[in-house]
Structure 1
Amino acid sequence: MRRILTGSGITVMCACAVIPVCAEPSPGRLPDPDCAVVVPASPADVPAPDDVPESLAVAHRFATGAGVRVAVIDTGVTPHPRLPPVIPGGDLVVVGERREDEPPLPDGAVDDCDGHGTIVAGILAAHPSPDDGVVGVAPGVELISIRQTSSRRAAKTVGAGGSLASLTDAINLALDGGARVINISLVSCLPPGTADRVDTHDFDAALARAEEHGTVIVAAAGNKDERCPAGSTVLPAHRPTVVSVSSLDTARTIAEYSIDGPGPLLSAPGRVPLALSPDGVGFTVGLAESSGPREFEGTSFSAPVISGTAALLMELHPADSAAGIRARLVGAVDPATGAVDPAEAVTHLPADYRGIPHPVTVTAPVEPPDGVRARTGVTVTILLCAVGLMLTIRYTARFRLRRTGRHAGQ
């Protein structure tokens, strides 16, 4: 899915700070004509239990992201049996009016009517199952959902949300909720020539606050289209403390739709053949549209691979700063494509490891007691005397033998 938000959207009408509570997995969302329709997966689409990606199988021997809290700033995350309990972290969408006979809506943070945030969360944190080979990059994390935009729930007179101001509020909500990793798969795109005219003071302050908290922010690099042409400034991806993630089209090529960023190149697959369904049960292979099924593809779905990998590294290196985790990610990438492999990342030894001072303890030799030293001296003296006596006897015998030989010759 290639969903890009403009940077000149509405201002935030309200920001709801929600006390973190866990939403129980839903048995399935009731049909809602306002929401996106997904294409259910067939049994043939679901990998067998022994088809878990090798990279994840290896990585999970070292870490699963346990104890690391990750915030997904997106269109909401529908609770799903294969996800960790979803913690509602806030809803920044002004919901449109509903008729009195319509059922009440769930908390906005756990209402993914757009079919986007749940896909992202599944890539990042799906739990394994003995029945199939589906698993997220970091299935042990704690998951916070913050709804920052929705093209289907928002009031038409207000818009979808997704302004730079609401993104700023969402980052602060995530930090208030204790997030150590923040995944942002929705971006604010400033076309060429417009970035200098946008006030980013509050936004940059939120990024600085994340850095102080040791929180890593991972964001989609953005997808080129008429609203976000090449050369655009993409926020937050183009900020120096943010990990920008491009999409891989193949194992060796970056997708043409990925917008180039000023920082280090990091990438992950952008095409998702199978995802957790935003209906709350089962799997999906795409969105049903009038033109036919549309698969999930874009930098939105590359970002959670890197967010999950950052969570694995945080579990292994809890004392690292945000800059330290970023350095570990960058140090382990494929130099040609920037591809991040979770197994490579968690087992990678930094290139400067040999240059890092390591304390070495040298134990001084222990002086022997005086009695031992005296006995040792006596023993050595006796041995030397014995050797000297043997040499004297041998020399004397050879001298006599020579004299005997001379007399015999005479």
Structure 2
Amino acid sequence: MGLSTAVAVASAQPSTGHPPDPDCAVVIPATRNDVPGAEEVPEPLTMAHRFATGAGIRVAVIDTGVAPHPRLPPVIPGGDLVVARDRRPDDPPLPEGAVDDCDGHGTIVAGILAARPSAEDGVVGVAPGVELISIRQTSRRRAADSVGAGGSLASLTDAINLAVDQSAQVINVSLTSCLPPDVADSVNTTAFDAALSRAEDREVVIVAAAGNADEQCPPGSTVLPAHRPTVVSVSALEDPHTIARYSVPGPGPLLSAPGHVPLALSPRDPGFTVGFADPPGLRAFEGTSFAAPVVSGTVALLMELHPADSAAGIRARLAAAVDPATGAVDPASVVTHVPADYRVAPHPVVIPVPAEASSGVRERSIVTVTTLSCFVGVALTIRSASHSRRRRGRNRERQ
């Protein structure tokens, strides 16, 4: 399972808070200047939340675990599929696996999707009203080396089934299984495809990262679950008008969201973070992993607004409301979009009766007609008199 592509952009000091676990990724704390003010909530989210917040919708995050945070909804432990490596006798006990995010990845994803608002700052998730389920499916930091720290297609299959069993309505998968072209046809995906079919039968919408191209995931690779027809595949935007070069193209409709996250919920303490501490600098939160939860949150908003829609119906609403050039998903545009076929019956065509002329027009018309009649009458009288004189003249000549 691949994690997000990252870029070294600056140097910083590691976060302070709970005693650091030497096994876990170190994050960089945000400064006061990094945190937007309360008046700086993004306008698309402010508008979208006038219509829906995802209230009552259950979203499962299949990832590296989600650490509890005061700005997240209560995290429901949905299961741990990571076989943990042996611990030292003097190590402190670990939290339950599903809420232990040693890698930091799953908590960042969950915050993008579901961070709750605060009067003290402008940080808020796309769907802050959802119920949040965490399923730890992979970990590079906790997993035993003998079982593969990156997870497997089999554990992803199990994770999807666990999410469905716990009544998840949306499943966010920001980790990918990339099958290079030379092996894709030889991998048995029967059980995996059955899990996707089961989710579709239960009207669950699965949203997945499109994947980040690298040596392990070259062009032409099959990315699972993103390349399956019932899955919403999400590419990353480099800027509002450009798909990031690292996004793996998918076979389905193009959907995208920003891939760079300048500020995120910290998996280590109650504050915020701007990236991982990776010598010699900072590794930013960037990749299709962080674009996917924007779309998952938007799906939750749609589900709250259209509870009778099927999974296919929600996907259709989503695809119809995105930017046609980049597939960019704007939550406000999506929740306020009116489909072209919104009318259930033909609109009746009514031809209006011409309005009567005003009394002033009628009076002027009558005067005009009367005047013309007078002119015509005078002309006829003159013509008749002239004709009579000529006739009398001819009669005298004959005499």
TM over 0.5: yes
Counterpart code for 2:117: P
State the shift of 1:100 in Å: 1.4
Structure 2 counterpart of 1:81, from 38, 59, 70: 70
Does the Cα contact within 8 Å between 1:4 and 1:187 map onto a contact in 2? no
Aligned to 1:318: 307
Does the Cα contact within 8 Å between 2:259 and 2:290 map onto a contact in 1? yes
State the shift of 1:29 in Å: 4.4
Aligned to 1:72: 61
2:231 pairs with 1:242: yes
Structure 1, residues 358-406: CA drift from partner, whole Å, max 9, x if none? 899xxxxxxxxxxxxxxxxxxxxxxxxxxxxxxxxxxxxxxxxxxxxxx
TM-score, scaled to structure 1: 0.80
Counterpart code for 1:349: V
Structure 2 counterpart of 1:145, from 123, 134, 138: 134
RMSD: 1.7
Structure 1, residues 41-64: CA drift from partner, whole Å, max 9, x if none? 000000000000000000000000
2-side partners of 1:218 and 1:192: how far apart? 23
Please show how residues 132-281 of structure 1 align to structure 2 within 5 Å.
Answer: 132-281=121-270
Partner of 2:59, secondary structure, is strand
2-side partners of 1:4 and 1:35: how far apart? 17
State the shift of 1:99 in Å: 1.4
Aligned to 2:98: 109
Does the Cα contact within 8 Å between 1:94 and 1:161 map onto a contact in 2? no
2-side partners of 1:177 and 1:304: how far apart? 19
2-side partners of 1:55 and 1:214: how far apart? 27
Does the Cα contact within 8 Å between 2:24 and 2:102 map onto a contact in 1? yes
Does the Cα contact within 8 Å between 2:4 and 2:289 map onto a contact in 1? no
State the shift of 1:291 in Å: 2.5
Please show how residues 311-390 of structure 1 align to structure 2 within 5 Å.
Answer: 311-354=300-343, 356-357=344-345
2:37 pairs with 1:52: no
Does the Cα contact within 8 Å between 2:44 and 2:330 map onto a contact in 1? yes
2-side partners of 1:357 and 1:166: how far apart? 48
2-side partners of 1:302 and 1:99: how far apart? 37
Aligned to 1:385: none
Structure 2 counterpart of 1:94, from 61, 75, 83: 83
State the shift of 1:158 in Å: 2.1
State the shift of 1:161 in Å: 4.5
2-side partners of 1:29 and 1:190: how far apart? 39
Partner of 2:308, secondary structure, is coil
Aligned to 1:286: 275
Counterpart code for 2:249: D
Aligned to 2:363: none
1-side partners of 2:241 and 2:18: how far apart? 39
Q: CA, structure 1 residues 309+102, in 2 after alignment: closer, same or farther (shift >3 Å)? A: same
Counterpart code for 2:250: G
2-side partners of 1:346 and 1:255: how far apart? 25
Aligned to 1:397: none
Partner of 1:328, secondary structure, is helix
Aligned to 2:3: 3
Structure 2 counterpart of 1:131, from 120, 124, 131: 120
State the shift of 1:193 in Å: 2.5
Counterpart code for 1:94: V
State the shift of 1:269 in Å: 0.1
2-side partners of 1:358 and 1:121: how far apart? 44
Aligned to 1:304: 293
Does the Cα contact within 8 Å between 2:4 and 2:286 map onto a contact in 1? no
Aligned to 1:379: none
Does the Cα contact within 8 Å between 2:4 and 2:285 map onto a contact in 1? no
State the shift of 1:280 in Å: 3.3
Partner of 1:39, secondary structure, is strand
5+ residue gaps, structure 2, are 6-15, 349-399
Larger Rg: 2
State the shift of 1:192 in Å: 1.1
1-side partners of 2:346 and 2:292: how far apart? 35
Does the Cα contact within 8 Å between 1:4 and 1:189 map onto a contact in 2? no
TM-score, scaled to structure 2: 0.82
2-side partners of 1:110 and 1:152: how far apart? 14
Identity between Structure 1 and Structure 2 (%): 75
2-side partners of 1:104 and 1:347: how far apart? 48
State the shift of 1:28 in Å: 5.9
Q: CA, structure 1 residues 4+229, in 2 after alignment: closer, same or farther (shift >3 Å)? A: farther
5+ residue gaps, structure 1, are 6-26, 361-410
Q: CA, structure 1 residues 28+80, in 2 after alignment: closer, same or farther (shift >3 Å)? A: farther
2-side partners of 1:29 and 1:225: how far apart? 34
2-side partners of 1:352 and 1:195: how far apart? 39
Q: CA, structure 1 residues 201+120, in 2 after alignment: closer, same or farther (shift >3 Å)? A: same
